[in-house]
Homo-oligomer: A and B are copies of this chain.
Amino acid sequence: MPGNTFGERFRVTTAGVSHGPGYLCIIDGCPAGLPLTVADLLPDLRRRRPGQSTIVSQRDEEDVPEIWSGVFEGLTDGTPIGLLFHNRDARSQDYEEIKEKYRPGHADFSFDAKYGIRDYRGGGRSSARETLCRVAAGAIAKKLLARIGISIVGYTSQVGEIAAQIEDPATVTLDQVEANAVRCPDPAAAAAMIERIEEVRKQQDSIGGCCTLAAVGVPAGWGEPVFDKLKADLAKGLLSLPAVTGFEYGSGFAAALARGSQHNDPFIRSEAGAITTSSNRHGGMLGGISTGLPIVCRVAIKPASSLPQPQPTVTRAGEPTTIATRGRHDPCLVPRFVPMGEAMMALVLVDHALRHQAQTLWPHHDASSGGAR
């Protein structure tokens, strides 16, 4: 596969560039019968949108998609959902310089190396603007998940060295996240983060951070063994987003420091009689399959590569030069990343929900003694 499609059963295919007419997005595999209108897609698209506050990019796009197919009389009809996004605020003149100069940290050079041809306008295909397709598809995935009791919330958990103090990511609410511009549910940390981002912005610089994501309500049993482990597909989905440089779930890299006797989550019987664990260092997945506990993961996001300050680089011909980003830019990518991360998590979960169904068409063996059903 050439790489512009995500998912096996709930498949998202996108096309488009940041400074062409717009983006096409085809979502194939959505079950029939889901009520759906453009209004369902707008909240997350607005969260992703540039220009929400002074701490994110100022590009002003409406980003209201047109639904061309897949919805009939207000309901999905089982046929592929076709979405269209027009590019309205594409200022091509801002980008003439990058035709000849390789922007540090961007994909200009690697695209040239791959294709020999490159749409140099605003990053072309490598522009993060493509993620609006993912966010729209993710909104549909979230709506499907919500119907079976699953909710997904992401938030900014770190900006530079400022970390949010959150006891349990699975208890964070959307309202808490949206209470401030940086999307951090710890108000004190949020204030410090915003201050830091403003400071960085004034320095014509950018800063990295982390986003934590939690899915609550995922039943035990999702994820395929061996290669398509749920953790593996989450890692892929999240690393496929621009600027993500790391992924961990549960205890993550801290597990490298741990002893097994303290790291294993003991199984217990809950008050309701179900089998569960008394802690969740396993991030809701064992053997790559969900356990019924919240699925929790965290990603690292590098500082935005585009900077208003001049950076050393070379031209396509190899001549030393400098480049400064004159257009809009994000001093910190994390706040706008939050809906993107949620979207990819939702897409992975819906896909695995549909894949897990193989176990339901034909009746299971009636296991007599216990079992997790």
Q: Is A151 an interface residue (CB 8 A)?
A: no
Q: Of residues A17, A34, A319, which shows the largest number of chain B Cβ atoms within 10 Å of its Cβ?
A: A17
Report the minimum CB–CB distance from A254 to chain B (whole Å): 8
Stretch at the interface among A4-12, A88-96, A165-173, A182-190: A4-12
Q: How far is the CA of A356 from the CA of B21 in the complex (A)?
A: 27
Report the minimum CB–CB distance from A88 to chain B (whole Å): 14
Residues 298-338 of A contacting B (Cβ, < 8 Å): 300-307, 309, 311-320
Residues 203-254 of A contacting B (Cβ, < 8 Å): 203, 205-210, 219-229, 231-240, 242, 244-254
Q: Is the CB of B226 within 8 A of A130?
A: yes
Residues 1-36 of A contacting B (Cβ, < 8 Å): 1-6, 8-9, 11, 13-17, 20-24, 26, 28-29, 31-34
Q: Which residues of B contact A372 (CB under 8 A)?
A: 109-110, 112-113, 116, 316
Closest to A270 in B: B318
Give the residue of B116, B158, B277, B361 whose beta carbon is less than 8 angstroms from that of A357: B361
Closest to A263 in B: B303
Q: Is the CB of B227 within 8 A of A240?
A: yes
Q: How far is the CA of A277 from the CA of B311 in the complex (A)?
A: 13
Report the minimum CB–CB distance from A228 to chain B (whole Å): 4
Q: How far is the CA of A209 from the CA of B226 in the complex (A)?
A: 21
Q: Is the CB of A116 within 8 A of B371?
A: yes
Q: Which residues of B contact A81 (CB under 8 A)?
A: 15
Residues 61-108 of A contacting B (Cβ, < 8 Å): 66, 68-70, 72-73, 75-82, 84, 100, 102, 104-107
Q: Is the CB of B117 within 8 A of A267?
A: no
Q: Is the CB of A259 within 8 A of B205?
A: yes
| Interchain Cβ contacts under 8 Å between A and B, 27 examples | A13-B80, A15-B68, A15-B82, A16-B82, A31-B358, A75-B117, A84-B84, A110-B220, A110-B221, A110-B285, A110-B287, A114-B289, A116-B372, A117-B367, A159-B256, A205-B260, A207-B260, A209-B256, A246-B253, A246-B255, A255-B300, A258-B302, A266-B311, A316-B369, A353-B361, A357-B361, A360-B361
Q: Which residues of B contact A117 (CB under 8 A)?
A: 32-33, 72-73, 75-78, 364-365, 367
Q: Is the CB of B362 within 8 A of A210?
A: no
Q: How far is the CA of A208 from the CA of B255 in the complex (A)?
A: 6
Q: Is A160 an interface residue (CB 8 A)?
A: yes
Q: How far is the CA of A148 from the CA of B110 in the complex (A)?
A: 19
